[in-house]
Amino acid sequence: MTFKVFVDGQEGTTGLRIHDYLAARRDIEVLKIATDRRKDPAERARLLNAADVAFLCLPDAASREAAAMIDNPNTCLIDASTAHRTVPGWTFGLPELAKGQREAIRASKRIANPGCHASAFILAVRPLVDAGLLPREAAVGATSITGYSGGGKSMIAEYEQQPLPAPLQAPRPYGLALKHKHLPEMMAHTGLATPPVFMPIVSSFYKGLAVSVPLQLGQLKQGTTPEQVQAALAAHYAGERFIDVKPLRDAATLESGFFDVQACNDTNRVDLFVFASDTQLLLMSRLDNLGKGASGAAVQSMNVHLGVEESLGLV
């Protein structure tokens, strides 16, 4: 069977990467809009309603506008923007989130693709909340370092100018107003009752992302050990093809002395780590911000929704 797929926003970073994933798929017919009609509402609406699956790779306002154009009840929307990630009636497109999430994605016609920082944070924290090891009321902080591709075409152009201006040669923390757009989904899909203190950092490499969540053992359920934390992650993701829970205090990483932020690049994989001392824990989660953090996650959700092999086109 051939499925018709349309990418609204096909020229953006996420849209282009989705096209790359779909290029070799024999079960997909990609519907494309002519360059001179990309902003034509009537043509966009026609293609959106002709598609079995439509990806929205647009700014938030434009995604809401596109969603309103759909009158075909059979069109499944997968929105890569922030617009619908905590909106009732939309399913969060993270199949590994919890038991039953795949079934929800399979049944839904409105799927909100997770944010890149949020995916890494949620995948590290949600299992501990579900296992009762991390209280919902816990005050949690997180730092995320990411490649500049996550900022889209304008930031890519900024970082690829030659010579590179001195301020861009060093990592740049941002989101300093503590109102990052991913915070609502980071709360909603971990079960935390308060937003984490979250500091994202962009640096002068193209792609790759790692989130670090430091915890005092005293913040966890009384008596919790690092071994129990690592075991909770391993149990939550048992059998998951795209989630690799590393051994406690991963020996290879400790031997090198440095964490490789880019080790999941060009994959749809997430690596999860627990480093620990006698009193403290450091959860770490890494992924390709353009892969499992954006386009790869969207294609994975499409595969789940269509009932085809989940890894099709992703490995």
Catalytic residues: 116
With tokens 């699956």, the residue in question is 53
Dihedral angle over CA of 47, 49, 50, 52, nearest 10: 120
Q: Determine what percent of the chain falls in helix, strand and coil, rounding each to the nearest 5.
A: 35, 20, 45
Beta bridge partners of 7: 55
- What tokens appear for 128 in the block? 């501990």
Q: What stretches of the chain show up as alpha helix (H) in DSSP?
A: 13-22, 41-50, 60-68, 101-107, 116-130, 152-159, 166-169, 183-188, 226-236, 251-256, 296-306
Distance CA 174, CA 168 (A): 13
Beta bridge partners of 286: 210, 271
Cβ neighbours of residue 179 closer than 8 Å, sequence gap 6 or more: none
